[in-house]
């Protein structure tokens, strides 16, 4: 190309010399770039608005779950009743306040609250966006949380529905609830709800309690300085308490007065006069005596803790307001018997020669390391939990070992393995080898595993019932193989002992390596006395609100875990476990005479001792061990240390009035000949092989096919 044919940029003369002018091509490129930038900005804005809309929609939907009428309900204690209707205790009694109309509250205090907590209260609609921005900027500058930016309405939503926590998720929910409150109530109503409910330190809820507690006055009689001092407490009721930190309370009082002056609520002269005052605060002991007389507060226990947690789950909107009547299934007489037995029996264990762990009597604080125990007692035909002991001292540890801890079940899991096998054609009189598990015998397992029996002895062929009655590990593994590992895992889940997808497929499952709670194991055992039906355990019978409206009524949830025949066969063997020759024979030796069945369990190195048993009416599970698994002591078998606790509890139940009778037999049992090797109908060849025996067979398990082995 000739040099002169190349595109040129034109130059134009300017006042200061030559400047380069853009060609149409460059102008088009620039315009295109501008359009792209504008489109990108608009697209980003649209996406941002869409995300904000989706976020608002999500939290508005979540906020809609909360009962907005709870805002107007003043906090009141919830009454917890046991099954008989007697008082068991109170929940949230510490939140009870005295409600006053705004006209009976000192205007000084109302102004002080607005100046201190939410100066734009009457201008915003629940969220003060400028206040939030100001708080976030300051927190960013300080690199710590200095201001929260919460309006009075946001604080009211937090205290009404107990929306605790400082996460962004919690804050956004708080804002959404605040918007709902603002749409439902007038500003003065919201302010009234707030000042009557706000926590003001040392068990004081609402302005009337604070006025009486700090100054011995009605809320209408507060002076400007007194009102400012109480308002100053709100942000840190413990740190700014006039009882314990008077200088800090005085400083916050002056800060509040300064804010009131800045907002034009009081004059400079009024602020200076009030700031120079030193309000006389009455002794804290006087208020504590008043609180003790007026507040309905129950000592925390495992039972009340369970109820509190369940109510929070069922009715989050009612927790802050309270006023509920909660009827439970608990029996305080049986609860006392269980607690007494655990206390006495474990004290006796700790006094035995050779006991090497810290003792309860030596406890001096911190995380307890002494021996623990847990028990659950429930009704077989309803699932109603009558008593729960989650540990030896709730005041030392609130962790509920009966409901929350999952410990290896050991041999108490074996009855479910046998029950599963009975459904697959096994019978108690059939023969199973008690010999050593040979390499490759469990074909689906990649590991060679050789479990030992408790006595260290391997035997020859023994009856199936001997395997369960004497708790033979090798026989139980072979019985489990007869049922199939997948069937056993499914049975475990069906009985409420864990999710099958969270269990590793492992032959150790057969002898109880999987963990479960005392509650779950006890509930699983109840199906042996009910013909295979498990009623889901529960402890809340009904809940009514302060107006008498029924909010909740328990409905029985039950399903079949085992067939009628398999449940009866298993239960028949578990009755033999507690007879002479069984691992639970100590129960009869202690003097328990009512019909009962059960199974002991002891994990490796004596780390967990179990006994779970049942009568025709009640099931009871007992676990003993250390929180950090460790050998309890040599010879700490479930039959030795857990059975006595069970004996005490169930003997007390009988004395209280729980009647224990015979277990029902299934209709249609048949005494018939079977082949001992396969459990099917025998042939002449079975007789020649000497494998024919007599078995009592439930109607639903009668085999229809003949032996194929002989």
* pLDDT above 50: residue 7: no
- The 3-class SS string of 284-343 reads HHHHHHHHHHHCCCCCCCHHHHHHHHHHHHHCCCCCCCECCEEEECCCHHHHHHHHHHHH
Separation between Cα atoms, residue 553 and residue 564, nearest integer Å = 30
Where in the chain are the domains?
Answer: 22-63, 97-294, 670-701
Q: What does the alpha-carbon distance between residue 73 and residue 105 come to, in Å, rounded to a whole number?
A: 19
Single pTM value for the model: 0.77
Give the model confidence (pLDDT) of 337-358 as tens digits: 999 999 999 999 999 988 999 9
Q: Which residue has the higher pLDDT, 23 or 396?
A: 396
Query: What pLDDT digit, counting tens, does each position of 198-233 carry?
Result: 999 988 989 999 999 999 999 999 999 999 999 999
Tens digits of per-residue pLDDT, 273-290?
999 999 999 999 999 988
Phi, psi of 458 (to 5 degrees): -105, 140
21-30 pLDDT tens trace: 567 777 777 7
Give the model's confidence band at 132: pLDDT under 50 very low, under 70 low, under 90 confident, else very high: low
3-state secondary structure of 380: coil
pLDDT for residue 674:
95
Q: Are 114 and 107 in contact (CB under 8 A)?
A: no
- Tokens matching residue 226: 């007194």
pLDDT digits (tens, 9 = 90+) for 563-583: 999 999 999 999 999 999 899
The owner of tokens 């005479």 is: 593
Per-residue pLDDT tens for 255-278? 999 999 999 999 999 999 999 999
C-alpha span between 648 and 657 (Å, rounded): 14
> At a CB cut-off of 8 Å and minimum separation 6, what does 335 contact?
303, 386, 387, 388, 389
User: For position 142, what pLDDT does the model report?
Assistant: 58
Nearest Cα neighbor of 77 from 321, 329, 328 is 321
pLDDT for residue 667: 79
- Name the token pair of 455: 């006595």
Confidence of residue 172 (pLDDT cuts 50, 70, 90): confident
Q: Which residues of 507-529 are buried (b: 16+ CB within 10 A; e: fewer)?
A: bbbbbbbbbbbbbbbbbbbbbbb
Beta partners for residue 79, in sequence order: 90, 325
pLDDT band at 685, cuts 50/70/90?
very high
What's the pLDDT tens digit per position in 57-115? 677 778 788 888 888 888 788 999 999 999 999 987 666 788 899 999 999 999 999 99
pLDDT number for residue 6: 45
Average pLDDT over residues 626-636: 95
The answer, yes or no, to whether residue 12 has pLDDT greater than 50, is: no
Cα 227 from Cα 267, distance rounded (Å): 16
Residue range 375-404: average pLDDT?
Answer: 97
Least confident of 406-415, 658-667, 693-702: 658-667
pLDDT at 92: 78
Q: Which residues contact 601 (CB under 8 A, 6 or more apart)?
A: 409, 410, 411, 412, 413, 512, 608, 609, 610, 611, 612, 638
Q: Say yes or no to pLDDT of 130 above 80.
A: no
Neighbours of 391 (CB within 10 A): 20
Look at 182-186, 220-224, 314-318 and tell me which has the smallest mean pLDDT: 314-318
**With the C-alpha atoms ordered 324, 329, 332, 333, is the resulting torsion angle positive or negative?**
positive
What SS3 state is found at 76? strand
299 pLDDT band, cuts 50/70/90, is confident
Q: Is the model's pLDDT at 506 over the cut of 50?
A: yes
Architecture of domain 97-294: Orthogonal Bundle (1.10)
Comparing C-alpha atoms, which of 666, 665, 683 is closest to residue 674?
683
* b/e sequence 28-59, b meaning 16+ C-beta within 10 Å: eeeeeeeeeeeeeeeeeeeeeeeeeeeeeeeb
pLDDT for res 10: 45
- Of 92-106, 190-204, 365-379, 386-400, minimum mean pLDDT range: 92-106
Convert the pLDDT of each residue in 134-154 to its tens digit: 656 655 665 555 455 689 999
Percent of the chain whose predicted confidence (pLDDT) is above 70? 92
pLDDT at 701 over 70: yes
Q: What percent of the chain has pLDDT over 90?
A: 71
3-state secondary structure of 621: strand
Residue 31 pLDDT > 90, yes or no? no
How far is it, in rounded angstroms, from Cα 434 to Cα 475? 5
The angle formed by the CA atoms of residues 657, 394 and 302, to the nearest 5 degrees, is 50
Q: What is the pLDDT of residue 18?
A: 42
Question: Per-residue pLDDT averaged across 435-444, rounded?
Answer: 90
Can you give the pLDDT at residue 136? Answer: 60
Report whether pLDDT(560) > 90.
yes
Under the banding of pLDDT at 50, 70 and 90, the label for residue 165 is low
- The pLDDT mean for the chain works out to 89
């Amino acid at each position: 190309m000739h040099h002169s044919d190349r595109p040129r940029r034109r130059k134009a003369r300017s006042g200061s010399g030559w400047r380069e002018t853009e060609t149409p091509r460059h102008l088009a490129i620039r315009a295109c770039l501008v359009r792209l930038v504008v489109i990108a900005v608009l697209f980003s804005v649209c996406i941002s608005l869409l995300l904000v809309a989706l976020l608002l929609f999500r939290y508005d939907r979540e906020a809609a779950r909360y009962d907005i009428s709870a805002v107007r309900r003043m906090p009141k204690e919830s009454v917890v009743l046991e099954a008989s209707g007697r008082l068991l205790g109170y929940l949230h009694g510490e939140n009870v306040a005295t409600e006053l109309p705004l006209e009976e509250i000192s205007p000084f205090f109302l102004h002080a609250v607005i100046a201190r907590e939410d100066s734009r209260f009457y201008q915003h609609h629940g969220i003060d966006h400028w206040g939030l921005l100001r708080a976030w900027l300051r927190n960013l500058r300080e690199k710590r949380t200095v201001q929260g930016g919460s309006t009075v309405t946001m604080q009211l939503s937090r205290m009404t529905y107990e929306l605790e926590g400082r996460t962004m998720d919690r804050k956004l929910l708080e804002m959404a609830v605040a918007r709902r409150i603002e749409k439902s109530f007038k500003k003065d109503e919201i302010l009234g709800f707030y000042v009557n409910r706000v926590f003001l330190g040392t068990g004081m809820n609402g302005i009337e309690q604070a006025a009486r507690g700090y100054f011995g006055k009605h809320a209408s009689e507060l002076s400007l300085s007194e009102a400012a001092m109480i308002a100053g407490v709100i942000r840190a009721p413990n740190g700014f308490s006039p009882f314990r930190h008077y200088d800090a309370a005085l400083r916050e009082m002056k800060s509040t007065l300064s804010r009131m002056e800045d907002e034009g609520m009081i004059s400079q002269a009024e602020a200076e006069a009030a700031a120079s005052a030193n309000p006389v605060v009455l002794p804290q002991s006087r208020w504590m005596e008043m609180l003790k007389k007026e507040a309905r507060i129950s000592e925390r226990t495992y039972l009340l803790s369970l109820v509190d947690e369940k109510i929070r789950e069922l009715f989050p909107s009612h927790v802050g307001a309270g006023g509920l009547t909660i009827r439970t299934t608990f029996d305080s007489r049986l609860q006392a018997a269980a607690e007494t037995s655990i206390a006495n029996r474990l004290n006796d264990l700790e006094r035995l020669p050779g006991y090497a762990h810290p003792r309860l009597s030596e406890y001096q604080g911190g995380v307890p390391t002494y021996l623990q125990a847990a028990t659950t007692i429930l009704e077989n035909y309803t699932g109603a939990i009558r008593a729960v002991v989650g540990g030896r001292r709730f005041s030392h540890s609130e962790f509920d070992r009966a409901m929350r801890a999952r410990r290896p079940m050991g041999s108490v899991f074996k009855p479910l393995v046998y029950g599963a096998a009975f459904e697959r054609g096994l019978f108690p009189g059939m023969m199973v080898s008690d010999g050593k598990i040979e390499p490759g015998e469990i074909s689906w397992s990649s590991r060679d595993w050789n479990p030992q029996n408790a006595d260290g002895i391997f035997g020859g062929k023994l009856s199936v019932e001997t395997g369960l009655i004497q708790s033979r590990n090798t026989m139980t593994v072979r019985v489990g193989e007869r049922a199939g590992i997948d069937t056993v895992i499914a049975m475990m889940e069906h009985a409420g002992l864990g999710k099958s997808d969270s269990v590793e497929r492992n032959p150790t499952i057969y002898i109880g390596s999987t963990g479960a709670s005392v509650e779950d194991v006890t509930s699983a055992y109840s199906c042996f006395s009910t013909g295979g039906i498990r009623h889901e355990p529960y402890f809340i019978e009904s809940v009514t609100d302060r107006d008498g409206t029924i909010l909740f009524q328990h409905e029985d949830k039950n399903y079949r875990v085992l067939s009628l025949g398999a449940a009866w066969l298993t239960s028949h063997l578990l009755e033999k476990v507690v007879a002479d020759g069984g691992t639970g024979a100590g129960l009869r030796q202690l003097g328990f005479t009512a019909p009962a069945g059960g199974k002991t369990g002891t994990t490796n190195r004596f780390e967990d001792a179990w006994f779970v048993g049942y009568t025709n009416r009640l099931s009871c599970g007992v676990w003993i061990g250390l929180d950090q698994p460790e050998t309890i002591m040599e010879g700490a078998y479930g039959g030795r240390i857990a059975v006595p606790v069970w004996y005490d509890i169930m003997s007390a139940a009988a004395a209280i009035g729980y009647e224990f009778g015979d277990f029902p037999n299934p209709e249609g049992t048949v005494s018939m000949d079977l082949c001992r090797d396969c459990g099917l109908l025998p042939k002449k060849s079975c007789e020649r092989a000497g494998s024919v025996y007599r078995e009592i067979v439930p109607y639903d398990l009668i085999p229809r096919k003949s032996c194929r082995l002989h």
